[in-house]
Structure 1
Amino acid sequence: MTHLLPKNKVQTTIQRAFSSLVFGNDPAALTHFRGRWSPWLFNTPLHVVHQQAEQVYTFVLTDAETQQELYGFFHLFVQNQQGVSPLRASFGSFEVAEVVSHADFSVWLNSIESFAVSQGIKSLSIRHYPSCYHPARSSFIKRGLVRHGFQLSQSSINHYISVTSQPFETALHASERRRLRKCLQADFRFEEWVSPSAEQVYQFIAHNRQRLGYSLSFREEQLRLWLTVFPEIFRVFCVKNGEEIASLGLTVRVGKNVLYHFCPADNLAYRQYSPSVLLTKGLYEFSQQEGVTILDLGISVDAAGQPKTSLARFKRNLGAQECEKWQFERKIGISTKV
């Protein structure tokens, strides 16, 4: 049942009064407030609903006077007395307006933790978005969580390409330029797969992953849901040789300025051509047309989740830069503030 739980009013040190509200199983409560920014896709009410949690709490930081302005929010999914953010997505974490100070954030964290304790939640686990998405806010949130007693349980290197007015080839390593020329000379073409078949896309990716010894983090049913519910957000692009797919990429428009190349996969019969270079070029040029400034290539790990240096090197050769992607953990009731 959807319900509004008791409020905790917060008085800040910047002469601004905030209220902390919490909503049970009602992520759409966010739409009742005037937001100063657009949430990342994985934190939107529609995506939160489709993460299919048994219990999710949405914490809102709003003004105490009118309770109409949105200054921060956080979705906490609960399973087996464990609180996680996200449940089924690449990231969750906090989104906080720039007017919120560290003192404000700290008091808000106190109210969230107090509520979690009252619900019998024993731990909190938060996976943050790549720091390149919003470097200043990422540093702010990281510092606030660590000061509050969260442990930085994982820090992964994430690669991304800054999309500018310059051609894709400008930052491309010489070895990848040769591979790109080879693809173009073979008349491979880049195109979007319009109205893609979830079954065919999934089978292509799963076959590639199986041959490389990887497992997939999602099921075919999930892919079908993404393509059906978010057709303009989850899109599939291909490099083709005639009608045969040489390389495929599942992309996610995470935000207005961010395109996440979520799940690249190659037809290994074309490995000598490295068609993923042409795929990346196509995504870069698509991003230029769409006003995207960050083409997120994700982290580089092997089947065991360990850093994969060859994949990281390939992304650098594509012109990618590095940022960090963090995961934070905290046991409830243990005081480790610094």
Structure 2
Amino acid sequence: MREGLLGGGALFTDPRFHDLNGVPAADRWRHEQRRGGRLVGVLEGVVVDGVLRSGHSAPFGGPDLVRADPPVEDVLDLVDGALAAARAAGLRGIRIQARPPVYSAAEPLLEYVLLNRGFQLAHCDVNQHVDLAPMHAGQDPLTLLRRKRSSVRAALREPHDLQEVTGGEDLSTLHRLLATNRAAHGRPPGLGRDYLASAREAFPDRVRLLLLRVGGRPVAAAVVYRVLDDVDLLVAWGDAEHDLARSPMDLLAHLLVGRALAAGLRLLDLGPSSEKDGTPNTGLLAFKRAVGAVPGTRKVLAARL
């Protein structure tokens, strides 16, 4: 856990994540804002062609704050301090891939301050997440499922196993399932097998590679990152190479919720349901809605200096 940062600090602003992606030390930039010796927050990223990218090679970046529900003065201090430091360093712009507003009470306030200080909306995705608070209060996770409860109940009665993969042939199988699924949907290749192995080695407590077997056969897989101490992000998932009567994806979604609940998490982020240009993927939106996810946004905010 990095010094006092909310949720242990976002995975994607951890120096080890930049190591994983081979970012040279000279291209990394970090500003720590303190008041009276107290750490207020951090803005960290990678400088590309003179522009700081917070969220480089990642779904999102910072800023990271210390308080989950900070006073506006903390956010103003961090943003104004980072802007002044960036100008002093000769940067010509800042591009922040912001985390979804639902991650903490700090996020909407941070968005407001960035917009107030001249940042503009550069991109917006529709993002979907499962709020786990009702389940912690006693709600049955099966009630999340819309029109799919009977199908998942039937699947739960059949032999199945969602197992964490650590390497070897299981990792090759997991990667092949995900790659086959992406190809079947006309999508470019995703994270490579070696990258997944390196990510798990770098973050053994925050990167989960999960393989679903039904009747002893591998049928679906998921890559899940613990992006904050109480938030899991679904990075990739998919099914392939099976002739089951029903898709295993509903079962996989239900089992992922169960794992997140068992870990005491607050949110399971199922990620964007829009294309690279922000166009909504209506099929993906409908599927995630059917397994209990609710919509939100994930924005990119940018400013010239």
TM-score (norm: length of structure 2): 0.87
Structure 2 matches for 1:316-327, cutoff 5 A? 316-327=289-300
Q: Which residue of 2 aligns with 1:191?
A: 162
How far did residue 111 of structure 1 move?
A: 3.6
1:104-119 to structure 2, matched below 5 A, reads: 105-119=75-89
Instruction: Give the Cα separation in 1 of the matches to 2:295 and 2:276.
Output: 21
1:151 lines up with 2:120 in the alignment: yes
Letter in 1 for 2:267: I
Q: Which residue of 2 is the match for residue 96 of structure 1?
A: 65
Q: Give the CA deviation at 1:272.
A: 4.7
Matched, 1:308 2:278: no
CA pair 104-247 structure 1, distance change in 2 beyond 3 A: closer
Equivalent residues of 1:234, 1:252 under 8 A apart: yes
Q: In the alignment, is residue 263 of structure 1 matched against residue 233 of structure 2?
A: no
Relative contact order, higher structure (CA 8 A, sep 6+): 2
Give the Cα separation in 1 of the matches to 2:54 and 2:282: 28
Could you tell me which residue of structure 2 aligns to residue 40 of structure 1?
10
Unaligned runs of 5+ residues in structure 1 are: 1-29, 333-338
* Equivalent of residue 160 in structure 1, options 118, 122, 129: 129
In 1, Cα distance between equivalents of 2:190 and 2:22: 16
**Offset of 1:35 from its aligned partner?**
5.0
How big is the shift at 1:155?
A: 2.1
Cα distance, 1:196 vs structure 2: 3.4
8 Å CA contact 1:60–1:72 kept in 2: the answer is yes
Q: Structure 1 150/270 Cα, relative in aligned 2: closer, same or farther at 3 Å? A: farther
What 5-or-longer segments of structure 2 have no aligned partner? none
| Pairing 1:125–2:95 present | yes
Structure 2 vs 1, CA of residues 81 and 199 (structure 1 numbering), >3 Å: closer, same or farther?
farther
- Residues 60 and 322 of structure 1, relative CA distance in 2, 3 Å threshold: same
> CA offsets, 1:73-97, max 9 Å, x none?
1102102222101212221121224
Task: Specify whether residues 108 and 284 from structure 1 end up closer, same or farther in structure 2 by C-alpha distance, changes over 3 A only.
Answer: closer
Q: Which residue of 2 aligns with 1:245?
A: 218
Q: Which amino acid aligns with 1:191?
A: L
The count of residues paired between Structure 1 and Structure 2 equals 296
C-alpha contact (below 8 Å) 1:182/1:273 kept by paired residues: no
Query: Could you list the per-position Cα deviations for residues 288-308 of structure 1 after superposition, in whole angstroms to 9, with x for gaps in the alignment?
Result: 211112111111124765311
Matched, 1:49 2:19: yes
C-alpha displacement of 1:184: 3.6
1:210–1:34: structure 2 CA closer, same or farther, 3 Å change rule?
A: closer
Contact 2:40 2:78 in 1 (8 A): no
Structure 1 112/257 Cα, relative in aligned 2: closer, same or farther at 3 Å? closer
Q: Could you tell me whether the CA contact under 8 Å between 1:77 and 1:84 is conserved in 2?
A: yes
Q: 2:30 aligns with which of 58, 68, 74?
A: 58
- Correspondence for 2:254: 281
**Structure 1 position 170, deviation (Å):** 1.2
Counterpart-to-counterpart distance in 2, 1:270 and 1:120: 58
1:87 corresponds to: 56
Aligned twin of 2:175? 202
The answer on 1:141 being equivalent to 2:110 is yes
Partner SS state of residue 83, structure 2? helix
Q: CA deviation at 1:324?
A: 1.6
Aligned AA for 2:41?
Answer: G
1:177 counterpart (149, 174, 195): 149
Change (3 A) 1:209 1:120: same
Task: Measure the CA separation in 1 of the matches of 2:220 and 2:190.
Answer: 19
8 Å Cα contact 2:7/2:229 also seen in 1: no
The two structures have a TM-score, normalised by structure 1, of 0.79
**Identity in percent:** 21
Work out the CA distance in 1 between the residues paired with 2:5 and 2:94. Answer: 26
Q: Which deviates the most, 94-103 or 204-213?
A: 94-103
Q: Distance in 2 between matches of 1:40 and 1:280?
A: 24
Aligned-CA RMSD value: 2.5
SS at match of 2:234: strand
CA shift, 1:151, in A, is 0.5
Superposed CA deviations along residues 40-93 of structure 1, whole A, max 9, x for unmatched, are 2222333243343231111111133xx3x3211110210222210121222112
SS in 1 for 2:268: strand
Shift of 1:148: 0.6
